[in-house]
Amino acid sequence: MTLPKDPYILLSFVNTKLRDFYESLDELCAALCIDKESIVEPLKAAGYQYNAKSNQFCEGGQNETEV
């Protein structure tokens, strides 16, 4: 699967998939056959981190992050 290149479109795409279809980032990556770093790194560069408790990417500095 080709991911959006724009980090904000990627953020929206990933958070929507996580909300509607997947219980974790690992599950989303496995189902879509994509490398986790191809999501985490661009979003980290844009100031977002994955929050496992809320199962979404949030602006950096959020607690309970997991990569």
Does 67 have pLDDT greater than 80?
Answer: no
The structure tokens 């602006």 sit at 59
In the structure, what pLDDT confidence band is assigned to residue 1 with cuts at 50, 70 and 90? Answer: confident
In the structure, what pLDDT confidence band is assigned to residue 47 with cuts at 50, 70 and 90? Answer: very high
Evaluate whether residue 66 is within a structural domain: no
Evaluate whether residue 65 is within a structural domain: no
Quote the DSSP letter at residue 23: S
pLDDT of residue 7: 97
Which residues form the domain of 16?
Answer: 7-59
Q: Tell me the pTM.
A: 0.87
Nearest partner of 66 among 27, 32, 33, 9, judged by Cα: 27
Average pLDDT in the chain: 92
- From CA 22, how far away is CA 53, in angstroms rounded? 13
Per-residue pLDDT reduced to its tens digit, 12-41: 999 999 999 999 999 999 999 999 999 999
User: How many independent structural domains does the chain possess?
Assistant: 1
